[in-house]
Amino acid sequence: MLLDKGVTIDNFEEYWAYLSKRDELVALEKHPEVWSSGLFGISPTDDWETYKAAYLDQMFEKLHDRKKNAVYFGKVDAEEALKRSRALIERLEQSKPLLRDR
């Protein structure tokens, strides 16, 4: 089903997340009173396949948003680290004459 939706798993963390969601779906399927109640922000339905599709769509959206935020924050962190590195290099360059005198 993941392949049908064009999902690629890039690392173990993503694999684990999808696997845990699969376990949740298996458990939910056994309890129609839960998935037909409208829990988890999914419209109530008596059709398991409809619920499962909505659940998966919601899961993909959440995981995609989390991944997008991680990339964004990673980029911000990398840019900040680059600025700090450049400042350190500049300070080292400025202190070269002082180090030579020792």
Residue 7 falls inside a structural domain: no
Residue 5 falls inside a structural domain: no
Q: What is the pLDDT of residues 27-68, one digit of tens each?
A: 989 988 888 888 778 888 889 999 888 888 888 887 776 665
Residue 4 falls inside a structural domain: no
Question: What pLDDT shows up at residue 101?
Answer: 61
Residue 3 falls inside a structural domain: no
Residue 2 has pLDDT above 70, yes or no: no
User: Domain range holding 33?
Assistant: 12-100
Residue 29 falls inside a structural domain: yes
CB 38 within 8 A of CB 44: yes
How many structural domains are present in the chain? Answer: 1
Residue 39 falls inside a structural domain: yes
DSSP string for 5-61:
TT----SHHHHHHHHHHHHHHHHHHT-HHHHTTTGGG----S-HHHHHHHHHHHHHH
Residue 1 falls inside a structural domain: no
Question: What pLDDT shows up at residue 99?
Answer: 64
**pTM, whole model, 2 decimals?**
0.55
User: In the chain, pLDDT over 90 holds for what percent of residues?
Assistant: 3
Burial per residue of 50-67, b for 16 or more beta-carbon CB atoms within 10 angstroms, e otherwise: ebbebbbeebbeeeeeee
Residue 84 falls inside a structural domain: yes
